[in-house]
Structure 1
Amino acid sequence: MARGGITKALVKQARDTLLAQDRHPSIDAVRVALGNTGSKSTIHRYLKELEEEEACRLGDAKGLSEPIQQLIAELARTLETEAEEIVAAAERRHQEQVQTQRQQLEASETVRDELVAEVEGLRQGIAARETTLAEQAARIIELEQQRQGQAIALASLEQEKQGLQERIEVQAQHLASIEEKHRHTREALEHYREASRLQREQDQRRHDQQLQQLQAELRQQAQTLIVKQDEITRLNRDNAALAGELRERERDNQQQAQALAKLREAQQTGERIRDQLEARLGRSEEACAALDAQHRQLTDVHAQLETRLGRSERGRERLQTRLLAEHARRRTLEQQLERLLARTSPDQETEASDQPVSDADSSSRQSTDE
């Protein structure tokens, strides 16, 4: 790290060190000995003062003839002239280097402004996507609440279906009992036909009433099945809406993936620009530090987008799993309703086939009473 400044004593010490090493104490050599600190004009001024002081000491020295002193003075002036020329050339080179670095810094500033504008655009895009993700999270919560309501409705339907199934089983047992009685009384039908005509008419009326009650119950069950079928249709519509929501989420994920690809291209562009600036600027540590900071910012933004995209993908998979579960439950309920309808139809046919033999049932009932 560069020190705050140089003094004449430091310049003299560096000059003496170079002279002790049999090296010419030029401005560049003294500056290197000082650790590349201090301006060349300051070092030149201190060297000139030191040479003048030595010239004065030489002029005051005793035991030297005047021609030698003149020769020394001439050599001092020559050295001073050459040193001034060297300093002037060094200053011109320094100015050229400063101008070149200034132009390079201006170019890097322009590139940095462009990168800052691009990063600002990316930040705005990320803010918009964060808003969209928040809305999607709210929508997912709402869908979860709807799913819970549907689960409760399905549980209620399952209970009603189980009750209907139990009633159908009771009716099937009743019809089986009637069929068994009909089989036992068919053998004694011819013996008691005339004697039980009046009783048969009464039993016929009673059987008709029971049959009407059974038919009314079957009609009510059919209406109940129609209501259940309407509820299944509504669940199908809800599932279709969930499927549409899933497709919209997939489109949003595709858009986020495209934005992530653009961000990656921007990051690669930033890396290429950084490499170019490093090749051009070389020693410009401030520009390199700025580009490194921008690169770290782009890397952080890239990591954040990767994390959010992963979360969105996991949310989409969970939603798809729930949708598949809803479809499976709907198919199971439809299969159960179909089996219920299939079991109800044979019961109706059995009741219809029992009507012609109601007389035999009445005779059997009369014989049993006797």
Structure 2
Amino acid sequence: MARSGVLYVHVAQAAARLVAAGHSPTIDRIRADLGGTGSKSTIAPLLKRWKSAHPGTVAQAELGLPAELVLAVKGVYEKVQADAVLQVEQAEQIHQAATAALQEQLQQAFVEHDALLTVQAQQAQAFIEANARIQVLAETVHRQEIALASLGSEKLGFEQRLTDRACEVASLTQQLQQAQVQSEHYQVSVAQQRADERQSAEQRHNHLEQELSALRQRLLAQQARLGELQAQEQRLAQDNDRLQSALLTTQDSLTQSRSAHEQAAFQLTELKRIHQALEQHHGANEQRLAEKRTSLAVTEKERSLLAERLTRAETQLTEVTTDKQLLLQEKAVLSSQLAEFRAQP
């Protein structure tokens, strides 16, 4: 039992003063407030009795907050923590979905870009081959035009030679006629001479006839050759028309290819712009996620502090419960002693 020097009222008053000063009432502080009087074994049960009678005051003094406020803060903290975890999970899910969509769009853009590059390479190769073919055809046409011009010059030469031969034949025929006329005038006196001249003229005429026949044959051959050249010229003209048509077709195809290439370049530019926008959106999502994580870290720190304080409060509550049980036991002992005391005569 407590000594008569230190009573419960003294301990209660000291504890109240300590609480009012903002200090937690402990055995040492109670003893110091009482001026160093009283033993710890005497003060301890009295302090436990006071604490069991004033649990809210003890919690306020030790935690700096009322017990109801501690419970309310604990509930708010748990709700904030649950909301923060839910928001982080939702943000991570949205971020993962956006990242997957961005990766898929980027992969599709790369595939389309590779396909466009392949089509562009094929069109460039076709354009090069068409240009080479057009160049070869142009050289062929040029050579054929040169050959045709040469054949035309040769034809003109043959026609001029044929004209010269015809003039020569006409001149010889005229000379023959003149010789015949002269031979008639001098028939009597120059019969022998006429015969000689006639024979010579006939020989020359036969020779000229042979040359004329040869020239006619050569003329026929040249005409046949000319016909072949004209036919060849027609074929060359047809080939030239076909080449011109092929050139126009190739130019149209080249124009279409260039248009397709420009369209592909425009699509590629649009895809790059979309990719940059998606990257910016991704960066914004990353920044928001970092902010959420920072907020979650702050919340987690606050939760740790609150959990620590809650643990301390639970520990103190356990101590209070233990002290209450001890007080009940002491009360039971005191009641028993009081009953015995009253029962004495």
TM-score, L = length of structure 2: 0.47
TM-score, L = length of structure 1: 0.45
